[in-house]
Amino acid sequence: MSGGLKVTAADLRIGDVCVCENLTWEVLPGERWAILGRNGVGKSTLLHALAGLRPLNAGSVALQGRELANWPRRLLAQRLGVLFQQSESAFPATVLETALAGRHPHLGLWAWEGQEDYALARRALEAVGLAAMESRDARTLSGGERRRLEIAAVLTQNPPWLLLDEPANHLDLRYQIRILEQLSGCVDESRSGGLAMVLHDVNLALRVCNRFLLLFGDGQWRAGDAAATLSAQTLSQLYDHPMQAIATPGGPLYHPQ
């Protein structure tokens, strides 16, 4: 299969908020998109629509040329991984068992995880810094550790396409950089998929993403690379607060005035 995750002529509303109007946009293989905007403009709502978990008011979403509704759910879960903004587990499970949950779309009915599944889960735990905690009850983890475990489960799922809702949520600076670069590296290495992630920090987005989708909260949107989308003027409008660009050897950084 070829192609990417494609949105065509999409309208999406939540209450009185027009998330996007006539959005035509595609995540192509090798692309790492940041979805940026103020709180309440519907970034998470759009992500849910991209995952097929919420209907659009108009338009369509397709993965590799097939509309999401036409994908068998298990096969779609093998191709598309979703990290939600937050999740809670009420059931007792170890850290390793929780990471292994990411392998469920790849297992047949009544099948158990094999050595390869365990190896993927342990590599994912190593990547997020939780390898030493694999036997610990996941319910005893801190908020940041829990977030890293949720990311490990998505890495264990090992899909080529990723939708991530605030993956840096609850993470300290070290793990924000380490894990977002890890996720970006997965796209760079495979070149067979891509990712879109909701982020609040535009400078963090500049570090790990090569494309940007801006949602303004009134249906307007802008998409493209940094040169086409990011400027102090545009970001001031996006965040409804004056922003300034600071020149650095690696390119501009943006800060509130």
Instruction: Say which residue, 236 or 86, is predicted with more confidence.
Output: 236
**pLDDT tens across 166-217, in order?**
999 999 999 999 999 989 888 866 668 999 999 999 999 999 999 999 999 9
Query: Is residue 90 over pLDDT 70?
Result: no
Residue 120's CB is within 10 A of a number of other CB atoms, namely 21
**Residue 197 confidence (pLDDT):** 98
CATH 3.90.1640.10 assigned to domain 1-79+200-256? The reply is: no
For the ranges 33-47, 67-81, 87-101, the lowest mean pLDDT is seen at 87-101
Q: How confident is the model at residue 229 (pLDDT cuts 50, 70, 90)?
A: very high
pTM (2 d.p.): 0.94
φ, ψ (nearest 5 deg) of residue 29: -55, 135
Q: Which of 174, 132, 173, 161 is nearest to 149 (CA)?
A: 132
| Contacts for 211 with CB less than 8 Å, ≥ 6 apart | 27, 31, 32, 33, 34, 223, 224, 225
Q: How confident is the model at residue 3 (pLDDT cuts 50, 70, 90)?
A: confident
**pLDDT tens across 159-176, in order?**
999 999 999 999 999 999
Q: Tell me what percent of the residues of the chain surpass a pLDDT of 90.
A: 87
Can you list the alpha helix ranges (DSSP code H) found in 93-138? Answer: 95-100, 115-127
| Contacts for 217 with CB less than 8 Å, ≥ 6 apart | 17, 18, 19, 37, 38, 40, 41, 42
Instruction: Say which residue, 113 or 36, is predicted with more confidence.
Output: 36
Q: Which of 210, 204, 211 is nearest to 254 (CA)?
A: 204
Give the dihedral sign, CA 83/89/91/97: positive
